[in-house]
Amino acid sequence: MKAIQNIEEYNQLIANSNNTPVLLDFYADWCGPCQTLLPTVEKLSKEYEGKVTIQKVNIEAVPELATLHKVRSIPNLVFIKNEKVVNTHIGLASEADLRTNLDTLSN
Active site residues: 31, 34
- Which region holds residue 29: left if phi is over 0, alpha if psi is between -120 and 50, else beta? alpha
What is the sign, positive or negative, of the torsion defined by CA atoms of 66, 41, 1, 49?
Answer: negative
